[in-house]
Structure 1
């Protein structure tokens, strides 16, 4: 469920008509619903509470890292799952308690490790022996002991898109689960480390519980074996990945997911951490855009929008599907037409949909991309020197701009001219024993 509905023929975000946001903020613009964020978090958390499991919900910040989104969830009781120092800093700045922050990711630098240790977060998830050794060096050098989980790779096919699958042997994530006992023993012997947890995450946008059941069953078996060998396993980190309905998908509801977790690991009596991202924010956001032109080709009809792949890359990157609808409610007898919905970026890949049937569009019509709250603005870029898209958070009948639209001065101001390119730069001096850059490069340049 989300809170984007037609009222009197106009699509609203909660109590705010989207044309008002378009007029006052401009397009393209991301719009998020506080009511939807709140509902999705509570439905997920309540599902686990109903099972009797001791569960901590750590929102996966990578899905949408806007401070207002993180703060909204933190005030509801959420922790955070982060994958970089930047995300960790965002979580702390948004008010997430440091004792509810988990640092995941396959390539943490020594500097990032040191920052996380200094911050005193709940846990660092380790994904390789090399990382384990590095973390030990950093922690012991700081005189600290760090709670860690070893992220295991259970070799389970999540049956999702290849680019968001993380739990098979050929994926870069985690430690082969069969090697885990030996690596846990190594971690116990290394200075500065306290191996207290097992972590797993098999992918994103899962719509079937069977892969979870298989993966969590393997994790439960590993936990029992480690406990029998005297390891102090204090909780399990079960990751995230529950899907949402972008199109015709029928993902399991949170209560079914929670029951499955209880059935697979509940008998261990261990607290669990869950790291939902897309499930919380995906349907809490839309991308609002404007039609620039309707272009009639010889064989196709194109709707050219002011939004582009740099604003929403999922269709180009993952073949991701997003519902596209007019902001003005179509007339009941309006016959949909087939459009290729495209943006202005100079790439053939800047295509949101091909042959999509939509109620007739005209230039200047407002449209929205549904289910755009996750992996939307957070993956935006300035490709083609287009400005970063702004973000708006709605709460009832009011809204706030929670990230302003970038200006051209801000974007171009990120660049710096080399000294020798400045108009007032002196001519380089060349002596007899110095070659010119061209000669030094050789005759072929």
Structure 2
């Protein structure tokens, strides 16, 4: 469908329905609503009882970084030389915490040269690499510890984190060498239960007592949820309140300064993917122009996003009763299938569009071009409703 000059020049749309009506895009579109991102950033800044640092890995788009800075975010969790340099360029006055606990000697050297002052570590071998290159003056090293995962969509402890006993040994070693001693953990992704943080905070006090060192700061990680499914809207204020209350209870007057590093909890709800129905099989299966090799990579691991509107090419919402549908992506690989079934309107038709809300986290960075698919246009809208 040809585009008018007005449509070609338009930079901010009202909502996804207007995009569908006007453009009828053949390839997937990622729609960004900066107002939603800035509102969520302010919710964290005003509600979390400490420093908010954004986990850049979840969505490193420059527009995301710029809008977070505009909303007041002053810290970023960086996991690579690329992310260190990105934030150094876009937010030169912001704090950068290099909390990927495994780094090559070349990556450490790059970070030292860039002025990184905050590090995490989860093994003695990695700590020795930091001792060899990182100057102690005004530099913070935070042992990262892990516990059996509770209430998370998947467990980061399978890859990162020391046992509490080892974390105590690391914390004591950090303090003995003259670095600023702190602690950090990550409860796992998409934690909707405030209790996911409580046991970690209590264990942090046990680690501090065992090491004989009170941490200057306690980074409670990410794990803050985005709104993925109907009926399970995250209660961020309850999570913030539990973190603050438990920290005060277990540390008392020695309470460390708190830090968090949300990724999806900040950016997830500020984006929607518009995917088009390529075909309907005789058995009712739906084929989309996006799938697990594109912007929907996470879904088989973490579960479907079900905050979905189905629009006709004219931008009208389908409203027939829902029916369970198997949904495939566009590639030739049979793995390219969303988990289980999606509840979609019974009158869905080829050429319709699915507006999949809550798709801002990891949808850009995991997108591939497998099979020649994966082109993902990015547009801006005032709202996603």
Provide the TM-score with structure 1 as the length reference: 0.74
Aligned partners of 2:86 and 2:111: how far apart in 1? 13
Distance of aligned partners of 1:260 and 1:113 in 2 relative to their CA distance in 1, 3 Å threshold: same
Structure with higher RCO (Cα < 8 A, 6+ apart): 2
Corresponding residue for 1:101? 96
Task: State the 1:28 CA deviation.
Answer: 0.5
For structure 2, the residue ranges without an aligned partner over 5 or more in a row are 1-11
Q: Single out whichever of 17-26 and 380-389 deviates more from structure 2.
A: 17-26
Distance of aligned partners of 1:158 and 1:136 in 2 relative to their CA distance in 1, 3 Å threshold: same
Corresponding residue for 1:308? 291
Of the three residues 112, 119, 137, the one matched with 2:107 is 112
Q: Is the 8 A contact 1:166 1:173 kept in 2?
A: yes
SS in 2 for 1:260: helix
Deviation per residue, 1:165-207 (Å, 9 max, x gap): 124xxx22122111223222333445xx614211111211111
Q: Single out whichever of 58-67 and 244-253 deviates more from structure 2.
A: 244-253
Task: State the 1:321 CA deviation.
Answer: 3.5
Corresponding residue for 1:20? 19
Equivalences for residues 179-328 of structure 1 within 5 A: 179-190=166-177, 194-224=179-209, 226=211, 229=212, 231=213, 233-248=215-230, 250=232, 252-266=234-248, 267=252, 268-296=254-282, 300-311=283-294, 312-327=296-311, 328=315
Number of residue equivalences: 362
Corresponding residue for 2:34? 34
Of the three residues 84, 88, 91, the one matched with 1:88 is 84
Equivalences for residues 420-435 of structure 1 within 5 A: none
Of the three residues 324, 335, 348, the one matched with 2:334 is 348
Distance of aligned partners of 1:81 and 1:160 in 2 relative to their CA distance in 1, 3 Å threshold: same
Say what the alpha-carbon RMSD is for the aligned residues. Answer: 2.6
Aligned partners of 1:126 and 1:33: how far apart in 2? 36
Task: State the 1:388 CA deviation.
Answer: 4.2
Distance of aligned partners of 1:289 and 1:120 in 2 relative to their CA distance in 1, 3 Å threshold: same
Aligned partners of 2:270 and 2:188: how far apart in 1? 21
Distance of aligned partners of 1:182 and 1:374 in 2 relative to their CA distance in 1, 3 Å threshold: same
Task: State the 1:59 CA deviation.
Answer: 0.7
Corresponding residue for 2:128? 133
For structure 1, the residue ranges without an aligned partner over 5 or more in a row are 1-12, 398-445
Aligned partners of 2:138 and 2:46: how far apart in 1? 34
Distance of aligned partners of 1:56 and 1:379 in 2 relative to their CA distance in 1, 3 Å threshold: same
Corresponding residue for 1:437? none
Distance of aligned partners of 1:28 and 1:194 in 2 relative to their CA distance in 1, 3 Å threshold: same
Corresponding residue for 1:68? 63
Q: Is the 8 A contact 1:310 1:380 kept in 2?
A: yes
Is the radius of gyration larger for structure 1 or structure 2? 1
Task: State the 1:243 CA deviation.
Answer: 1.9
Provide the TM-score with structure 2 as the length reference: 0.85
Q: Is the 8 A contact 1:156 1:202 kept in 2?
A: no
Deviation per residue, 1:99-151 (Å, 9 max, x gap): x21111232111221122222234011121111011111225xx976321111
